[in-house]
Amino acid sequence: MAGLNLKSRGSKASAASAAAPTLVAAVIDEVTRESVRNVASQLGWTAPVIREGGVSAAAAYVKATGAPNFIIVDVSDSENPVEDLAALLNLCGQPTPVVAIGLVNDIRLYRRLCDVGVSDYLVKPVPEDVLADSLQIANEPPAPPERTDPKRTQLIGLIGARGGVGATSLAVSIAWSIAQQVKVALLDLDLHFGSAALSLDLEPSRGLRELLSHPDRIDSLLIDAAASQAGERLRLLSAEEPLEDTLDLDPDGLLAVVDQLRASTGMVVADIPRGLGPLTRQAVVCADVIGVVTDLSLAGMRDTQRVLAMIAHAHGGAKTMVVANRVGGVAGEIAVRDFERGIGAKIAHSIPYDRAAAVAAAEGAKPLIDVARNPKTVAALRSFAQSFSDGVEAAPQSTSLLKRVLGR
C-alpha cells in the first residue's frame, strides 16, 4: 500500500475528534500496540481501547460491551485465523471493519480472510503509515457496485484426449489468431515436455516453475519477466524442466498466475497436459471453455469419453467442446456418427488432416492457421478460432490481418 501524508490529514482528523470512532485493538506484542496508539493519535481517534492478546481478547471485549466501530486484532497465535475471525465478525452482529495483523505472508490467507469479511490483513512488522492507510480505507463508505463486464477475460483450455492429436498445435493457432485483435497469454502447462515454445521458434520462458511454486510473490513484473514475447500482442509462458526433477507444485500457484494474466490480457489460452496431476485438474477448474482434442480412432473415442467425464466431475459449469483433429489422417477412423454416439456428445469442430500445412508449420515454426493454404483446412481453422473470438473487440490497427485470418 502507498504511504499516507498524515500531516495533511491532521486538521481534518482533529476537527472530527469529537465524534471520533471507537477503536479496539487486541495485539500480542508491545511494539505493534505502540504503533496502534501512535496511529490512533495521528488520526484524531480519542480513547482507543488497546489490549494485550489476540482474537480471544477482542471477542471478550465485544461480548462485554458490544461491537466497536473498528477492530484491530492480532492473529499471530491463532491456529485457524480464518475460522476465528469469522466467529468474531459473527459475534459483532453488524458490519464492523476488522483489520487483522499476523506473521504469515501468504496471499491465500489474505484472500480467505477477505472472503469471510475481514477488511485488510497486514504482516508484522506493520509500518504506521500502512496501518493508518488501512484504517482510513476501512472507514470509507463502500463504493457503489461496479458494473460487471460481460467481456470478462476468458481462459480457454485445450487438452488432448490422447497423445499426438495436435492439441498444442491448435492452442498455438487459437492464441495467434486472437492476438491479431487483443493481447493474449499462451500458457503451456506441460513443464517437462511442452512444445508451444518449439512451435513458435522460441526459447522456453524462464520462471514459470518459480511462479507456480510461490503464488505469494506473483505480480505483473514477475509475469513480464517470465514470459517470452511471441508477437506484438502474444506472450508465452512455458518451461523445459529437467526430466529428473519431480514437480510438486501448489495448484494455488496456477490460480495466482491466471488471476494476474486475466488482469493484463484480453484472453488466456492454456495448453493443458494429459497427465491428470493437481496442476491439470486445477487448470480444468479455472477454465471457462475447455476443448477436448481427439482423433477419430477407437482409443480416441474411449479417452474422449473419459476426459469429458473427468471435466464434468471437476468443473460441471465449464463449457466443453469436442474437436476432431487431423480427420482423414488416421487408419481405421470411426465414422463421426458412431464416434459421437460412443462419447455421448457432438463434435463441435472437425479439422482435416493437411500434411502440407503440418510440414510448413513445423519447418517454419509458424502457427498452423498462418501457413494453411488448403481451402477446407483454412475454413475449418477459421471457424474454430472464431468460436472463441466472438465478442472480442478488435484492435483498429489489425483490421487487414484480421480479415486474412478470420475471413472477415
User: What pLDDT does residue 386 have?
Assistant: 87
Strand order in the sheet with 70-74: 49-52, 23-27, 70-74, 98-102, 120-123
Residue 390 has a pLDDT of 60
Q: In Å, how far are 157, 195, 196, 273 from 199, measured between CA atoms?
A: 18, 6, 5, 16
- Which tens digit of pLDDT belongs to each residue from 325-378? 999 988 889 999 999 999 999 999 999 999 999 999 999 999 999 999 999 999
Query: Residue 6 falls within a domain, yes or no?
Result: no
Residue 120 burial (CB < 10 Å; 0-12/13-18/19+)? buried
Does one domain contain both 162 and 121?
Answer: no
Distance CA 240, CA 225 (A): 16
Average pLDDT over all residues of the chain = 83
| Residue 2 in domain | no
CATH number at residue 40: 3.40.50.2300
Name the domain count of the chain. 2
Q: Which of 84, 113, 139 is the last residue of a domain?
A: 139
**Same domain membership, residue 219 and residue 102:** no
Tell me: do 125 and 200 sit in the same domain. no
**Virtual torsion, Cα 14, 16, 21, 26, nearest 10 deg:** -10
Q: In whole angstroms, how far apart are CA 48 and each of 21, 89, 127, 310, 380?
A: 9, 19, 19, 55, 69
Domain boundary among 115, 139, 163: 139
In a domain, 12, yes or no: no
| Amino acid letter, 157 | G
Residue 378: inside a domain? yes
Tally the residues of the chain. 408
Which pLDDT score is estimated for 315? 76
Report pLDDT digits (tens) over 36-55: 999 988 888 778 899 899 99
| Residue at which a domain ends, from 108, 139, 170 | 139
Contacts (Cβ under 8 Å, ≥6 apart) of 331: none
Which secondary structure element, helix H or strand E, spans residue 56, and what is its range? helix 55-65
Residue 223: partners with Cβ closer than 8 Å, 6 or more residues away = 211, 237, 257, 260, 261, 264
In this prediction, residues 311-330 reach a mean pLDDT of 87
Residue 286: φ, ψ to 5° = -75, -30
Domain check: are 181 and 69 in the same one? no
Q: Which three cell numbers stand for residue 233?
A: 500482442
Q: Could you tell me which of 162, 388, 155 has the C-alpha nearest to residue 293?
A: 162
Same domain flag for 258 and 398: yes
Q: Which of 6-10, 113-117, 164-168 has the largest mean confidence?
A: 164-168
Q: Are residues 249 and 193 in the same domain?
A: yes
Q: What percent of the chain lies above the pLDDT cut of 70? A: 86
At which residue does the C-alpha cell 458494473 appear?
Answer: 147
Cis peptide upstream of residue 145 (ω within 30 degrees of 0): no
Confidence of residue 392 (pLDDT cuts 50, 70, 90): low
Q: Which domain holds residue 255?
A: 154-406
Cell numbers found for residue 254: 496456477
| Strand partners of residue 294 | 324
* Residues 278 and 185 occupy one common structural domain: yes
pLDDT at 402 over 90: no
Residue 145 pLDDT: 44
> Do residues 382 and 343 share a domain?
yes
Query: What are 1's three cell numbers?
Result: 500500500
CA distances from 368 to 26, 142, 209, 406 (A): 62, 50, 28, 13
CATH number (domain holding residue 293): 3.40.50.300
Task: DSSP letter for 215, please.
Answer: G
Please write the tens of the pLDDT for every residue from 242-289: 898 887 777 788 888 998 899 889 999 999 998 777 888 889 988 999
pTM of the predicted protein model: 0.61
Tell me: pLDDT of 26 over 80: yes
